[in-house]
Amino acid sequence: MRYSRNLNWYAVRTRSQAEELARHGLSQKGFELLMPTYQAVSQRKDRHKVLTKPIFKGYLFIRLQLDATLHLEVLKTLGVVEILKNSQGPKTIPNEEIDNIMLLEKHVGECFEAPEFSVGEKVMVREGPLKGLKGTVDEVHQRMLRVGIESLPGGIMIEIDPRQLISEESGIYHTIASA
């Protein structure tokens, strides 16, 4: 297995609904972590409750100079399943993608899981709290901006006003027709 000697970000897969357990265990060990969340309203018959949920279900992000010893230490943490890897070893996440993830923490509203990436137009948010966020327009839900994190299977979608988008390919402001 090949490790990078640089300080890099990695995606850590957790057991189902164990993101907070893994986050707590890894932070107790002194690791730098990123686990973006959003607020969701749980509606019961008798009350409404605001819940904090992870944007990326089953994942969190860790920054470290990964070697065999630290890799084992991460894997020994309760709730952790693995550090995502490819055939050469643990896969680093580019800083640009981490910047996108950090921007998502400013999002107010619901996040929707997106099981697969679809091919669509590359766009960037040009105004508002998510300014600079890059993603791909989903062709099925035309008022959705799909934010793809290539290192993770799937991605997330957020609803955004199409007038806030600019095409990365042409630099042209679009209005995406409503469905």
Task: Return per-residue pLDDT of the chain as tens, 179 residues.
Answer: 788 889 999 999 999 999 999 999 999 999 999 998 877 777 777 888 888 888 888 999 999 999 999 999 999 999 999 999 988 899 999 999 899 888 877 766 666 554 333 347 777 777 778 888 887 766 545 555 556 555 566 667 777 766 677 777 655 554 443 33
pTM over 0.75: no
pLDDT for position 113: 54
pLDDT value for 179: 37
The fold adopted by the segment(s) 8-93 is Alpha-Beta Plaits (3.30.70)
Domain parsing of the chain, residue ranges: 8-93, 98-167
Using the structure block, give the residue that is written with the tokens 């988008």: 165
Question: What is the Cα gyration radius of the chain?
Answer: 18
Same fold, 8-93 and 98-167: no
pLDDT value of residue 114: 43
Q: What confidence score (pLDDT) does residue 91 get?
A: 93
CA-CA distance, 115 to 113, in Å (whole number)? Answer: 6
Domain 98-167 has CATH 2.30.30: yes
The pair of three-digit structure tokens given for residue 20, joined into one six-digit string = 């907070």
- Number of alpha carbons in the 13 Å side-chain half-sphere of residue 155: 22
CA distances from 112 to 35, 55, 125, 156, 169 (A): 16, 9, 18, 6, 25
Q: What is the pLDDT of residue 172?
A: 52
